[in-house]
């Protein structure tokens, strides 16, 4: 790829980040990150700490931040104006991302008026957010819930990074996202949010100790109903699969159709779900055979709860449980499932690996890791702050009309 594929705007971003827009105001040339002014409590950083990071230039952005990018324990990341189609997934390792894209003859794609990301293709897209983190603060990324439910694989890339979805402590530089639609082609724009970033200070003592985890599990604070016979391996809380629903004739899941129309991510409650999904109905036996290469939306039997002082993440793949992957979008923010009148099930994005695998109602299908917040968020996950999937049961992505 000729170097002209990288426009002047991107070159300016690489060489000057002090004049970028911040939440609550714009940076001036005299503004420099002040690590001493940032919160120093260990744990997952809550929304008020993330706001302080933006105020002190530890998190910057090319375009002005939007207020709803800040979630109770995470930050939504936005696509910039240009994508690059590459021939294969990669990690930059000892080089910067631009060098790797040029070596792979990446094809530039303008997103300004919307562009289609096609299934079976791999794209690398610069993000608008730029980091200048203090030492001892690291980041972890995951797809947003809607991204996972549309079977769009996303992975965060850092300059010279050798792992996906992790930002090393004290990282300074741009962020990128690798995007690989698996089932549906999607239309994206500058500002589209496909993944999210969670910041964490420190490592020791972040995960709940086994005794605390077991006590809160048995008290019904984490999942309802809990099963006393379940062990909590590696400090993980198990959840099980619901293949019965309310009884015979109930829809208990959905299997994605192939070769459908593309989905414009800006269009909410727009598409007829029957054009994209086949319902899975409980008839006689509460079992489901996963076929290799097929994509399923299922739900847990339990309601998942994340108290305000904790954050949670679903482990995507555990080889000991079977050859399948669950939950591409793994973050659960503080307050998830804690509405007083109704809980929230975890919706699972499931794909079998290589061989068919039969699931049976009530068997463990996923594991939740609970971690301590550095402070209780000033805003928790709820319908009041526009959270799309609070109080949910089995649900498709928000681009589809209600299934009834």
Q: Which domains does the chain have, with CATH numbers?
A: 3-201 (2.70.40.10), 210-385 (2.70.40.10)
- The pLDDT score that the predictor gives to residue 131 is 98
Place of tokens 């690989």: 180
- The pLDDT score that the predictor gives to residue 274 is 97
**Mean pLDDT value of segment 284-299:** 94
CB 345 within 8 A of CB 314: no
User: Is 17's pLDDT higher than 80?
Assistant: no
User: Is 296's pLDDT higher than 70?
Assistant: yes
Alpha carbons 241 and 298: distance in angstroms, whole number: 8
DSSP β-bridge partners for residue 142: 196
User: Is 160's pLDDT higher than 60?
Assistant: yes
Q: Spell out the residues 6+ positions from residue 153 whose beta carbon is closer than 8 angstroms to its own.
A: 143, 178, 179, 180, 181, 182, 328
- The pLDDT score that the predictor gives to residue 325 is 66
Q: Which residue has the higher pLDDT, 383 or 201?
A: 201
User: Is 18's pLDDT higher than 50?
Assistant: no
CB 315 within 8 A of CB 252: no
The mean-pLDDT minimum among 3-17, 83-97, 126-140, 315-329 falls in 3-17
**Mean pLDDT value of segment 310-324:** 70
Q: Can you read off the two tokens belonging to residue 66?
A: 């939007």
Reduced to 3 states (helix: H, G, I; strand: E, B; else coil), residue 381 is coil
Alpha carbons 18 and 319: distance in angstroms, whole number: 45
CB 307 within 8 A of CB 338: yes
Q: Which residue has the higher pLDDT, 71 or 391?
A: 71
Alpha carbons 380 and 384: distance in angstroms, whole number: 9
- The pLDDT score that the predictor gives to residue 317 is 54
Place of tokens 């929230």: 344
Alpha carbons 279 and 292: distance in angstroms, whole number: 18
**Mean pLDDT value of segment 345-372:** 90
- The pLDDT score that the predictor gives to residue 23 is 46
Output the pTM of the full model: 0.89
Alpha carbons 367 and 370: distance in angstroms, whole number: 10
| Element at 143 (helix H, strand E) | strand 137-143
CB 293 within 8 A of CB 349: no
Q: How confident is the model at residue 344 (pLDDT cuts 50, 70, 90)?
A: confident
- The pLDDT score that the predictor gives to residue 207 is 85
E strand map for 269-323: 277-281, 287-290, 295-304, 310-315
- The pLDDT score that the predictor gives to residue 29 is 34
Q: How confident is the model at residue 326 (pLDDT cuts 50, 70, 90)?
A: low
DSSP β-bridge partners for residue 4: none
Reduced to 3 states (helix: H, G, I; strand: E, B; else coil), residue 219 is coil
Q: Which residue has the higher pLDDT, 141 or 206?
A: 141
Q: How confident is the model at residue 10 (pLDDT cuts 50, 70, 90)?
A: low
**Mean pLDDT value of segment 370-390:** 79
**Mean pLDDT value of segment 266-284:** 96
Alpha carbons 18 and 60: distance in angstroms, whole number: 8
At 219-260, the pLDDT tens digits run 999 999 888 777 687 788 989 999 999 999 999 999 999 999
Q: Spell out the residues 6+ positions from residue 15 whose beta carbon is closer than 8 angstroms to its own.
A: none
Q: Spell out the residues 6+ positions from residue 261 whose beta carbon is closer than 8 angstroms to its own.
A: 275
Integer CA distances (angstroms), 351 to 198, 256, 293, 336, in order: 25, 11, 7, 24
- The pLDDT score that the predictor gives to residue 28 is 34
User: Is 3's pLDDT higher than 80?
Assistant: no
**Mean pLDDT value of segment 20-33:** 41
Alpha carbons 374 and 221: distance in angstroms, whole number: 19
**Mean pLDDT value of segment 352-367:** 88
Alpha carbons 218 and 143: distance in angstroms, whole number: 30
Select from 73, 77, 168, 157 the least CA-distant residue to 123.
157
Q: Which residue has the higher pLDDT, 120 or 354?
A: 120
The mean-pLDDT minimum among 54-58, 85-89, 193-197, 386-390 falls in 386-390
Share of the chain above pLDDT 70, in %: 84
């Amino acid at each position: 790829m000729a170097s002209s594929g990288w426009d002047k705007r991107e070159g300016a971003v690489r060489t000057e980040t002090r004049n970028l827009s911040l939440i609550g105001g714009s940076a001036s040339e005299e503004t420099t990150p002040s690590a001493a002014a940032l919160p120093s409590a260990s744990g997952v950083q809550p929304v008020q700490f993330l706001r302080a990071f933006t105020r002190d230039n530890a998190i910057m952005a090319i375009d002005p931040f939007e207020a709803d990018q800040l979630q109770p324990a995470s930050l939504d990341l936005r696509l910039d104006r240009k994508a690059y189609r590459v021939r294969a997934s990669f990690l930059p390792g000892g080089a910067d991302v631009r060098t790797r894209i040029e070596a792979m003859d990446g094809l530039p794609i303008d997103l300004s008026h919307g562009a289609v990301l096609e299934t079976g293709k791999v794209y690398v897209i610069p993000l608008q957010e730029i980091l200048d983190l203090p030492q001892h603060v690291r980041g972890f990324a995951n797809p947003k819930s809607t991204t996972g439910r549309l079977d769009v694989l996303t992975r965060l890339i850092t300059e010279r990074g050798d792992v996906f979805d992790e930002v090393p402590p004290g990282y300074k530089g741009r962020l990128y996202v690798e995007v690989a639609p698996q089932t549906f082609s999607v239309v994206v724009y500058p500002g589209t949010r496909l993944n999210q970033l969670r910041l964490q200070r420190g490592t020791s003592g972040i995960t709940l100790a086994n005794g605390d985890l077991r006590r809160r599990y048995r008290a019904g604070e984490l999942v309802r109903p809990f099963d006393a016979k379940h062990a909590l391996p590696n400090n993980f809380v198990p959840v099980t699969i619901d293949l019965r629903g309310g009884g015979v004739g109930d829809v208990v899941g959905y299997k994605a159709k192939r070769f459908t129309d593309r989905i414009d991510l800006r269009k909410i409650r727009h598409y007829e779900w029957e054009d994209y999904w086949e319902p899975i109905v409980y008839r006689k036996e509460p079992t489901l055979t996963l076929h290799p290469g097929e994509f399923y939306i299922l739900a847990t039997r339990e309601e998942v709860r994340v108290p305000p002082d904790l954050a949670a993440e679903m482990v995507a793949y555990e080889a000991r449980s079977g050859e399948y992957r669950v939950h591409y979008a793994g973050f659960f923010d503080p307050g998830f499932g804690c509405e007083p009148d109704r809980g929230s099930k975890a919706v699972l994005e499931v794909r079998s690996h290589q061989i068919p695998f039969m699931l049976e109602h009530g068997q463990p299908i996923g594991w939740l890791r609970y971690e301590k917040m550095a402070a209780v968020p000033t805003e928790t996950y709820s319908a009041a702050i526009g959270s799309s999937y609070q109080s949910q049961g089995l649900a498709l992505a928000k681009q589809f009309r209600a299934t009834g």
